[in-house]
Structure 1
Amino acid sequence: MTLEEGFYIGYITKTKGLKGELQLFFEYDAPELLDLDVVFAEINGKMVPFFVSSYKLQNNSTGNFFFDDVDHIDLAQALVRKKIYLPLTKLPDRDDEEFHYNDLKGFMVSDETHGDLGEILEVNEYPQQFVATVLYKETEIMFPLNEDMIVEIDEEERTLTVDLPEGLLDIYLSN
């Protein structure tokens, strides 16, 4: 599997105990819907498969995992801070009405004050919010995606109208 053939679900935060147990922090918003029998870790630019022998999901967006062939803390320690992916073929189906901030990737953004900003290149999910990345005047700018800033989402036209806080663009353009 290559990076393009997968989707990001989270990263390994720490080891637990001495028998190779790992804690995975999910940045995917519904980990209970995922098929977690095999996960892929990005190691040195390659996608390395890990077969899950057992796991238990927690209420705080984490899960505790045991992988086949990772049966000691020393083997587990090498996986800490590695990003974890699943193949796109395992992306859970969603209802057509269900819309996620991740769906905004590729939308054109317009600000009520500054006009057209450009296309959303990335949507990243952080613990508290989603953040969009746009290339504006040859500078990457980032802004949170939340109800306070979003004025309108037009799914048919693939446009997003926002009202960014005063001075936000100036921070990026002042360099």
Structure 2
Amino acid sequence: MKIEEAFYIGYITKTKGLKGEIQLFFEYDAPELLELDVIFADHNGKMVPFFVSSYKLHSNNTGNLYLEDVDHIDKAQALLKKKIYLPLSKMPDRSDEDFHYNDLKGFVVIDETHGKLGEIIEVNEYPQQFVATISHKKTEILFPLNDDMIIEIDEDERTLTVDLPDGLLDIYINP
């Protein structure tokens, strides 16, 4: 499987115990909807499958998993900080009204003051907010996604119109 055939759900944060149990931090917004029978770890650009023998989800966007053939802490250590994916075929169905900040990946950002800035290449969820990453003149720019800054989301044109705070772009462009 290639990375283009998968969607990102989170990453391995730590091991737990000596029998190979791992903790997965979910960046996917509804982990309870995911089918976790097999997960894929990004190992230097290759998608390595791991079969899940059991798992338990927690309310803080984490879950503890036991993987087949990962039966010792030493084997689990090798998975730390690995990004975890599921095949696109396992992406839960959502209604058309269900729009999430993660859906903005690939949208072009237009700032009211500075005009067209670039395409959103990544959307990350942090405990307090979502943060978009755009590529602008070979520089990565990060900005929070919140209702105060977003003016319009045009799903048909795949554009996001924002009003970024004064000085935010200067931090990246004129360091």
The TM-score normalised by the length of structure 2 is: 0.93
SS at match of 1:52: strand
- Equivalent residue pairs, number: 175
Q: In structure 2, do the counterparts of structure 1 residues 153 and 19 end up closer, same or farther at CA, with 3 Å as the change threshold?
A: same
2:27 maps to what in 1?
A: 27
SS at match of 1:8: strand
The two structures, once aligned, show a CA RMSD in angstroms of 1.4
CA distance, structure 2, for counterparts of residue 156 and residue 5 of structure 1: 23
2:14 maps to what in 1?
A: 14
**Unpaired runs of at least 5, structure 2:** none
How many angstroms does 1:80 deviate by?
A: 1.3
> What does the per-residue CA deviation read over 1:101-136, in whole Å, with 9 as the maximum and x for residues that have no partner?
121122222212222222223222233322222233
1:125 maps to what in 2?
A: 125
CA distance, structure 2, for counterparts of residue 7 and residue 16 of structure 1: 25
1:37 maps to what in 2?
A: 37
The TM-score normalised by the length of structure 1 is: 0.93
CA distance, structure 2, for counterparts of residue 120 and residue 19 of structure 1: 40
1:93 maps to what in 2?
A: 93
**Unpaired runs of at least 5, structure 1:** none
CA distance, structure 2, for counterparts of residue 34 and residue 139 of structure 1: 34
Q: Which amino acid aligns with 2:156?
A: E
How many angstroms does 1:89 deviate by?
A: 0.8
Moved more, 28-37 or 79-88: 79-88
Instruction: Map 1:1-175 onto structure 2 (within 5 A).
Output: 1-175=1-175
| Paired-residue identity, % | 78
How many angstroms does 1:77 deviate by?
A: 1.4
Q: In structure 2, do the counterparts of structure 1 residues 164 and 87 end up closer, same or farther at CA, with 3 Å as the change threshold?
A: same
SS at match of 1:74: helix
